[in-house]
């Protein structure tokens, strides 16, 4: 069973295992606001409420990052006009995971490709071809992808996993009053 973690401002932050949620509660970092009364957690040290929803005691800041707008030219520039598959001069762009297989338009899924590789690859995946990428495609830094005419201003957006990172940072914070007991849920059943 999973537990919904709300930030101190009541917005949903993450879904975690009930064990992880219980550790947050035991370390006074969160309070249970809804428990599954029919299924208490039994352990060698007693019975605990099984949290369905918890709320963090302190607000954690979820960082925002500048998203660089995705352009065809930006992808070619990031990859220095070199084919991501063979390294030769490239002037087309290719979806690593083909669109027909749910591949998205993103910095992580678009690469520069030479005409030949693009043609050979078609709608197939790298695994099917036994190909590999010469680098891991990522969003470039803001200045690097700029092209003329200037693209729309970069939008602010959360990067995937930002909420989870913020929660992990909160968990890692030492407790000022009592030290967190990493193994305080020892003996609890697995979920
Ligand atoms: Zn190529």
**Can you give the CATH number for the domain in which 151 is found?**
1.10.30
Residue 183 lies in a domain: no
- How many angstroms is it from 82 CA to the middle of ligand 1? 8
The tens-digit pLDDT sequence of the chain (191 residues) is: 799 999 999 999 999 999 999 999 999 999 999 999 999 988 888 888 999 999 999 999 887 767 788 999 999 999 999 999 999 999 999 999 999 999 989 999 999 999 999 999 999 999 999 999 999 999 887 665 454 544 455 555 666 677 878 888 888 877 654 444 444 444 454 54
Whole-angstrom distance, CA of residue 98 vs CA of residue 152: 26
Note the pLDDT of residue 160.
62
Q: Is the pTM of this model over 0.85?
A: no
- How many angstroms is it from 124 CA to the middle of ligand 1? 15
112 and 54 within one domain: no
- How many angstroms is it from 76 CA to the middle of ligand 1? 13
CA distances from 69 to 26, 72, 78, 106 (A): 43, 10, 13, 9
- How many angstroms is it from 133 CA to the middle of ligand 1? 10
Q: Tell the residue number behind the tokens 């709320």, with chain if given.
A: 55
Which H or E element spans position 75?
Answer: helix 72-78
- How many angstroms is it from 159 CA to the middle of ligand 1? 30
Of the chain, the end-to-end C-alpha distance in Å amounts to 6
- How many angstroms is it from 118 CA to the middle of ligand 1? 7
Note the pLDDT of residue 73.
93
Angle at 75 (CA atoms; ends 87, 117), nearest 5 degrees: 40
Residue 189 lies in a domain: no
151 and 74 within one domain: yes
Which tokens sit at 157?
Answer: 């957006």
Residue 30 lies in a domain: yes
How many beta carbons lie within 10 A of that of residue 131, not counting itself?
17
153 and 165 within one domain: no
- Residue 54: asked if its preceding bond is cis (omega within 30°), the reply is no
- How many angstroms is it from 119 CA to the middle of ligand 1? 9
Minimal CA–CA distance to 55: which of 33, 40, 28?
33
Note the pLDDT of residue 65.
67
- Residue 149: asked if its preceding bond is cis (omega within 30°), the reply is yes
81 and 24 within one domain: no
- How many angstroms is it from 85 CA to the middle of ligand 1? 5
150 and 72 within one domain: yes
23 and 106 within one domain: no
143 and 98 within one domain: yes
How many structural domains comprise the chain? 2
Q: Which domain holds residue 75?
A: 65-157
- How many angstroms is it from 86 CA to the middle of ligand 1? 4
- How many angstroms is it from 67 CA to the middle of ligand 1? 28
Are 54 and 5 contacting, i.e. CB atoms less than 8 angstroms apart?
Answer: yes
């Amino acid at each position: 069973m999973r537990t919904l973690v709300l930030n101190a401002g009541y917005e949903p932050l993450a879904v975690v295992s009930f064990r992880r949620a219980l550790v947050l509660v035991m370390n006074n970092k969160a309070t249970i606001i809804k428990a599954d009364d029919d299924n208490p957690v039994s352990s060698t040290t007693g019975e605990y409420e099984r949290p369905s929803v918890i709320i963090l005691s302190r607000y954690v800041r979820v960082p925002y990052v500048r998203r660089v707008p995705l352009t065809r030219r930006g992808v070619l520039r990031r990859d220095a006009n070199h084919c991501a598959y063979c390294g030769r001069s490239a002037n087309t762009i290719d979806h690593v995971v083909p669109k027909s297989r749910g591949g998205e338009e993103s910095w992580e899924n678009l690469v520069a490709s030479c005409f030949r590789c693009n043609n050979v690859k078609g709608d197939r995946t790298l695994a099917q071809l036994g190909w590999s990428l010469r680098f891991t495609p990522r969003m470039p830094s803001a200045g690097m992808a700029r092209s003329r005419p200037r693209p729309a201003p970069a939008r602010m957006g959360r990067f995937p996993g930002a909420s989870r990172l913020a929660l992990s940072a909160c968990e890692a914070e030492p407790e000022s009053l009592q030290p967190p007991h990493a193994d305080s849920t020892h003996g609890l059943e697995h979920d």
